[in-house]
Amino acid sequence: MTVDSPLTDLRGVGDARAAQFAKRGVLTVGDLLALYPRAYENRGKIIPLRDCTDGELHAVEVVCTRKPAVGRTRSGLDYFHMYAQDDSAPITVTFFNRRFLLPEILPGRRYRLYGRITMGLYGAEALSPEIEPITPGKPLPAIVPIYPLSGGLTQKTVRNAVLACLPLCDGLEEELPEELRRRYGLLPRGEAIRRLHQPRSMEETEQAKRTVAFAELLTFQLALRSMRRAKDGVLAPPLPPVAGGHSFLESLPFALTNAQAQAIREIFADLERDTPMTRLVQGDVGSGKTVVAAAALERCATNGHQAVLLAPTEILAEQHAQKIGKWFEPRGIRTALLTSSVPKKQKEAIKKGVKDGEIHVLIGTHAVLQGDVSFASLGLVVTDEQHRFGVRQRALLLEKSEQTGPRPHMLVLSATPIPRSLSLILYGDLDVTLLRELPPGRQPIETMVLLPKDRERIYASIRRQLAQGGQAYIICPLVEENAELENASPKKAAESYFAELQTGAFAGIPMGLIHGKLPPARKAEAMEAFAAGETRILVSTTVIEVGVDVPNANVMLIENAECFGLSQLHQLRGRIGRGTRKSFCVLLNGSGDVCERLDTLRDSSDGFAIAEADLKQRGPGDFFGDRQSGEMTLHAASLTDLPLIAETSGALEEILPHLKEPAYHALSAAALRVVRRAGNGKTIN
Ligand code: ADP
Ligand code: MG
């Protein structure tokens, strides 16, 4: 047996069981070793029944005193009572639907029970506790691992399967050199994995977890870094200022903010070098990132190289294409929009133009990444709202660019501010520019948290705003009614709500509807009509969350605001307050329960502060897109463990100069495997 052996090589694992494991992604013995417990139960502290605290979790050791009594409740549930005692008191244990346990319950036999012990009228009682027979001379483990389950697996099945492959731990290849382990207080790898599954004490689980998480984060960070630096010394085309060129920046109707000017200076300085730029611009919604990106795109195009701007949604790609086309086309820079809804013929023409170098700036969704777009000379890749892209997309892009020769410069725009330590993980070691300034003249957005009973009042004030020339977004959590969800608590669905409002509260007012299930052309139509002011209200799902820019819109009503994450609400709210009108955002709390999150949002407009709060409340899941479910899932480490992330980042810096030494070969190889796996999944979701 090796780590690559199929699970069916384990005793007691047949095809059916293997299929259950496969549902969790556990295919090989090695996968099983990497199925880390999600928690531990300390069943080692045995106390006398008499000393149990009513209603608390306890471990007790008892002897079965007589045959169990079997019965059936009126509603048809199977149960049996087990009668037992220890030296201090008797206990009655009830098991529901556990008939299969019956043959194991024998008078005179000893058992360890673990569960909630209650003190009833007739002595101690327990309901369906964990039960393990005690065999003389074979002590039970004190610390019991609890595994993440799914697909019909039970704890016992997983535990037994894991135990069967623990002997492999002795021969596991070491990933971290001994010297590094000593410095950071880590166990040998095999030892750590064994202790994770079979710990002798709680302290041991901690050290084992730390070891495995440390190695995982280190490998992960190294993988990200090597994705970026896949070929050391690869050069990018230097993009110096072009003599006599007048930038579109000079024709803008507004002056750049200091933050924008500074960001553009930093980017230009990067672009003039022949080492590839890898810069992240983080700016709150509305801080004006598009102009900053456009400055870079223009610089690239005027140098005779091509540039790409990638957006996470078609709507956003179209907006960018419009805006940037307007800025660039008069200056002889040819732009094109490539999304999956562009007709086939036109697509071919665009691809040809890109290949021949006739198109200078290509704007599109990640569809651009798929298939067969090749560039004459790619000099710069800008990805907007990068947190929507996975690592995989980035790997693909690098691959693509390497086919065409020199490495392009990379610029990433993100409206989701993340703490430095997290951005290290997410982006490797990108240089970070912060845009912590909004363009002048912005009216602060007045945010209110209201309840369904306020609805009529809300509609009335929306009508007032419309009468004064404003426009409104109404955001719903669902596209269509969903009976299942409906039962829990009714949620607004865009389609039916649109119909209801059109004939009700906003009868006679031109309205548009937009959601993700509409065909792209209909989406674009609805968006254009709203942007042009032809429709005054846009009922929408969160498809308008990122980047959409209609400065005249000044009201937003978010239905079931309690369903959304903080950062997401902040992004949504960022669609208003973009023009000179006073803007209002109503967070309608449909649940009626107190919702602290909504209050946080009402009281703050600082995206950075909100993101921190979100991270604390919900963990980093939202920031990572397909990282969580994709090929780069972390097993042992948690992305909320900022201290460990910082520690491993530090360790990585220390070991970088030594990576070529034999002691680090195993680590490099592990990182390479992560990169391969990330790059292999060719589908983009
Ligand atoms: P985001 O950072 O959210 O992508 P955008 O680039 O979409 O922001 O800019 C939001 C709005 O602010 C746009 O209408 C844009 O034209 C405008 N804008 C950008 N920079 C400035 C500025 N310096 N002064 C005034 N308006 C600006
Ligand atoms: Mg934007």
In terms of phi and psi (left: phi > 0; alpha: psi -120 to 50; beta: otherwise), the region of 332 is left
Does the beta carbon of 368 sit less than 6 angstroms from any atom of ligand 1?
no
pLDDT at 443 over 80: no
How far apart, in whole angstroms, are the C-alpha atoms of residue 230 and residue 675? 10
Q: What is the pLDDT of residue 391?
A: 53
Q: What is the pLDDT of residue 149?
A: 81
CA angle, residues 42, 47, 49, in degrees to nearest 5 = 125
- For residue 447, which phi and psi values (nearest 5 degrees)? -110, 135
Q: What percent of the chain has pLDDT over 70?
A: 86
- For residue 630, which phi and psi values (nearest 5 degrees)? -85, -155
Place of tokens 């608590």: 489
How far apart, in whole angstroms, are the C-alpha atoms of residue 444 and residue 578? 10
pTM of the full structure: 0.62
Counting ligand 1 atoms within 8 A of each CB, the residue from 438, 445, 549 with the most, and so the one to mutate, is 549
- Token readout for 170 is 């002795």
Q: What is the pLDDT of residue 387?
A: 53
Q: What is the pLDDT of residue 313?
A: 80
Q: Whose CA is nearest to atom 20 of ligand 1?
A: 288
How far apart, in whole angstroms, are the C-alpha atoms of residue 623 and residue 637? 16
pLDDT at 429 over 70: no
Q: How far is the CA of 229 from the centre of ligand 1 (A)?
A: 33
- To the nearest whole number, what is the mean pLDDT of the chain? 85
| DSSP alpha helix (H) spans, 115-249 | 155-165, 178-184, 189-197, 202-228
SS3 labels along 468-536: CCCEEEEECCECCCCHHHHHHCCCCEHHHHHHHHHHCCCCCCCEEEECCCCCHHHHHHHHHHHHCCCCC
pLDDT at 625 over 90: no
Give the DSSP H/E element, type plus range, for residue 64: strand 56-72
Q: What is the pLDDT of residue 285?
A: 78
pLDDT at 448 over 70: yes
- Kindly report which listed range (220-234, 347-361, 545-559, 640-654) carries the lowest average pLDDT score: 220-234
Count the residues in the chain: 685
Confidence of residue 150 (pLDDT cuts 50, 70, 90): confident
Nearest ligand 1 atom, CA 257: 23
β-strand partners of 537:
472, 511
Would you give the distance in Å from CA 233 to the centre of its chain?
32
- Kindly report which listed range (6-10, 266-270, 425-429) carries the lowest average pLDDT score: 425-429
Going by the DSSP 8-state scheme, the letter that residue 134 receives in this structure is: P
Q: Between these two residues, 227 and 21, which has the higher pLDDT value? A: 21
pLDDT at 629 over 50: no
How far apart, in whole angstroms, are the C-alpha atoms of residue 22 and residue 35? 12
Q: How far is CA 78 from CA 66, 73, 120, 135, 516, in A?
A: 19, 7, 22, 28, 47
Q: Whose CA is nearest to atom 19 of ligand 1?
A: 288
Q: What is the pLDDT of residue 359?
A: 97
Strand ranges (E), 108-182 = 110-120, 123-127, 130-133, 143-146
In terms of phi and psi (left: phi > 0; alpha: psi -120 to 50; beta: otherwise), the region of 107 is beta
How far apart, in whole angstroms, are the C-alpha atoms of residue 140 and residue 113? 11
pLDDT at 266 over 60: yes
Would you call 304 helix, strand, or coil by DSSP? coil
Does the beta carbon of 573 sit less than 6 angstroms from any atom of ligand 1?
no
Query: What are the pLDDT digits (tens) for 152-210?
Result: 888 888 999 999 999 999 888 888 999 999 999 999 999 999 999 999 998 899 999 99
The two counts, helices (H) then strands (E), for the chain are 21, 21
Would you call 119 helix, strand, or coil by DSSP? strand
- Token readout for 545 is 């969350």
- Kindly report which listed range (154-168, 328-342, 412-426) carries the lowest average pLDDT score: 412-426
Does the beta carbon of 320 sit less than 6 angstroms from any atom of ligand 1?
no
Q: Which ligand gives the minimal distance to the CA of 417?
A: 1
Closest CA to 679 of 384, 365, 397: 397
Q: b/e for 214-238, b at 16 or more Cβ within 10 A?
A: bbbbbbbbbbbbbbbbbeeeeebbe
In terms of phi and psi (left: phi > 0; alpha: psi -120 to 50; beta: otherwise), the region of 334 is beta
Does the beta carbon of 648 sit less than 6 angstroms from any atom of ligand 1?
no
Q: Between these two residues, 548 and 228, which has the higher pLDDT value? A: 548
The mean per-residue pLDDT over the stretch 594-611 comes to: 82
How far apart, in whole angstroms, are the C-alpha atoms of residue 300 and residue 413? 17
Query: What are the pLDDT digits (tens) for 485-528?
Result: 544 556 788 999 999 999 999 999 999 999 988 888 888 889 88
Q: What is the pLDDT of residue 632?
A: 47
Does the beta carbon of 286 sit less than 6 angstroms from any atom of ligand 1?
yes
* CB-CB contact of 563 with 271 (8 Å): no
Q: Between these two residues, 172 and 442, which has the higher pLDDT value? A: 172
- Token readout for 183 is 């410095």
The mean per-residue pLDDT over the stretch 542-562 comes to: 85
Nearest ligand 1 atom, CA 290: 6
- Kindly report which listed range (159-163, 232-236, 629-633) carries the lowest average pLDDT score: 629-633
Query: What are the pLDDT digits (tens) for 42-69?
Result: 998 999 999 999 999 999 999 999 999 9
Place of tokens 């928690």: 39
- Kindly report which listed range (228-242, 321-335, 626-640) carries the lowest average pLDDT score: 626-640
Does the beta carbon of 551 sit less than 6 angstroms from any atom of ligand 1?
yes
* CB-CB contact of 27 with 5 (8 Å): no
Counting ligand 1 atoms within 8 A of each CB, the residue from 249, 250, 254 with the most, and so the one to mutate, is 254
* CB-CB contact of 402 with 231 (8 Å): yes
Q: Whose CA is nearest to atom 23 of ligand 1?
A: 256
- For residue 74, which phi and psi values (nearest 5 degrees)? -60, -30
pLDDT at 401 over 60: no
Does the beta carbon of 560 sit less than 6 angstroms from any atom of ligand 1?
no
Q: How far is the CA of 384 from the centre of ligand 2 (A)?
A: 7
Q: Between these two residues, 69 and 416, which has the higher pLDDT value? A: 69
Q: Whose CA is nearest to atom 15 of ligand 1?
A: 288
In terms of C-beta density within 10 A (0-12 exposed, 13-18 middle, 19 or more buried), how is residue 203 classed?
Answer: exposed
pLDDT at 535 over 80: yes
Confidence of residue 394 (pLDDT cuts 50, 70, 90): low
Q: What pairing do the DSSP bridges indicate for beta strands 123-127 and 110-120?
A: antiparallel
pLDDT at 114 over 80: yes
Count CB atoms within 10 A of the CB of residue 435: 23
The mean per-residue pLDDT over the stretch 122-142 comes to: 91
Counting ligand 1 atoms within 8 A of each CB, the residue from 249, 264, 282, 290 with the most, and so the one to mutate, is 290
In terms of phi and psi (left: phi > 0; alpha: psi -120 to 50; beta: otherwise), the region of 272 is alpha
Q: How far is CA 211 from CA 145, 159, 602, 680, in A?
A: 17, 21, 42, 28
- Token readout for 534 is 């032809």
Q: What is the pLDDT of residue 223?
A: 80
β-strand partners of 61:
112
Q: Which ligand gives the minimal distance to the CA of 384?
A: 2
Does the beta carbon of 626 sit less than 6 angstroms from any atom of ligand 1?
no
Going by the DSSP 8-state scheme, the letter that residue 46 receives in this structure is: B
pLDDT at 466 over 90: yes
Q: b/e for 515-551, b at 16 or more Cβ within 10 A?
A: beebebeebbebbbbbbeeebbbbbbbbbbbbbbbbe
pLDDT at 374 over 80: yes
Q: How far is the CA of 290 from the centre of ligand 1 (A)?
A: 7
Q: Can you give the C-alpha Rg of the chain in angstroms?
A: 30
Q: How far is the CA of 289 from the centre of ligand 1 (A)?
A: 7
Would you give the distance in Å from CA 183 to the centre of its chain?
32
Does the beta carbon of 282 sit less than 6 angstroms from any atom of ligand 1?
no
β-strand partners of 80:
70, 95
Q: Which ligand gives the minimal distance to the CA of 313?
A: 2
How far apart, in whole angstroms, are the C-alpha atoms of residue 649 and residue 334? 42
The mean per-residue pLDDT over the stretch 219-226 comes to: 81
The mean per-residue pLDDT over the stretch 15-39 comes to: 88
Does the beta carbon of 436 sit less than 6 angstroms from any atom of ligand 1?
no
Q: Whose CA is nearest to atom 26 of ligand 1?
A: 439
Q: How far is CA 120 from CA 65, 66, 117, 123, 125, in A?
A: 19, 20, 9, 5, 6
* CB-CB contact of 82 with 93 (8 Å): yes
Q: How far is the CA of 407 from the centre of ligand 2 (A)?
A: 25
pLDDT at 668 over 50: yes
Does the beta carbon of 577 sit less than 6 angstroms from any atom of ligand 1?
no
How far apart, in whole angstroms, are the C-alpha atoms of residue 275 and residue 424? 20
Q: Between these two residues, 296 and 569, which has the higher pLDDT value? A: 296
Q: How far is the CA of 573 from the centre of ligand 1 (A)?
A: 15
Q: What is the pLDDT of residue 243?
A: 81
In terms of C-beta density within 10 A (0-12 exposed, 13-18 middle, 19 or more buried), how is residue 605 classed?
Answer: buried
Q: Is the torsion defined by CA of 675, 677, 681, 682 positive or negative?
A: positive
Does the beta carbon of 570 sit less than 6 angstroms from any atom of ligand 1?
no
Q: Which ligand gives the minimal distance to the CA of 570?
A: 1
- Kindly report which listed range (181-185, 372-376, 413-417) carries the lowest average pLDDT score: 413-417
Give the DSSP H/E element, type plus range, for residue 83: strand 78-85
CA angle, residues 382, 383, 388, in degrees to nearest 5 = 175
Q: How far apart are the first and last CA of the chain?
A: 36
Please report, as a single letter, which amino acid is at residue 16: A
